[in-house]
Structure 1
Amino acid sequence: MKTLIFILSALMSFHATSAEKFDGKAFAKTYFEAWSETQKPNAKAEDIENYLKLLKDDIGHQHLPYDPNADRADDNKELMREGMTYYLAAHTEYSSELLSVTEGLNVVIIKYAYQSKGIHPQTKKAAEINKEMIEVLEIEDGLVSVIRKY
Structure 2
Amino acid sequence: MKRVFLAVILLLISSRLYAADTGKDLKAFAHNYFEKMVATQSPDATKEDLENYLKLLTDDIGHTHLPWETDGTRKPGGKESMRKGMTFYLGAHTEYSAELLEVFIFNDSAIALRYKDHAKGIHPQSNQKVEYSQTMMEILEMDQGKVAVIRKYHE
What range is the shorter-chain TM-score in?
0.7 to 0.9
Counterpart of 1:18, as a letter, is Y
Q: Which runs of 5+ in 1 are unaligned?
A: none
Equivalent position of 2:102 in the other structure? 100
Aligned equivalents of 2:90, 2:60: Cα separation in 1:
22
Aligned-pair CA distance for 1:71: 0.6
Whole-angstrom distance in 1 between the partners of 2:71 and 2:44: 31
SS at match of 1:148: strand
* Alignment partners' CA distance in 2, 1:82 and 1:146: 17
User: Hey, what's the Cα distance between the residues in 2 that align with 1:76 and 1:142?
Assistant: 17
Structure-2 residue corresponding to 1:148: 151
Runs of 4+ aligned structure 1 residues displaced above 3 Å come to none
Asked if 1:119 corresponds to 2:122, the answer is: yes
State the Cα distance separating 1:86 from its structure 2 match: 0.5
TM-score by length of 2: 0.85
Q: Which residue of 2 aligns with 1:25?
A: 27
Instruction: Give yes or no for the alignment of 1:53 onto 2:50.
Output: no
- Structure 2 unaligned regions, length at least 5: none
Match of 2:80 among 78, 81, 86: 78
CA deviation digits over 1:14-42, x for unaligned, max 9? Answer: 67x839x4312111100000000000000
**Could you state the TM-score of these two structures normalised by the residue count of structure 1?**
0.87
SS of residue in 1 equivalent to 2:118: strand
User: 2:113 is matched by which residue type in structure 1?
Assistant: I
* Counterpart-to-counterpart distance in 2, 1:116 and 1:103: 27
CA RMSD of aligned residues (A): 2.1
Code of the aligned partner of 1:102: F
What percentage of residue pairs aligned between the two structures are identical? 50
1:108 counterpart letter in structure 2? I
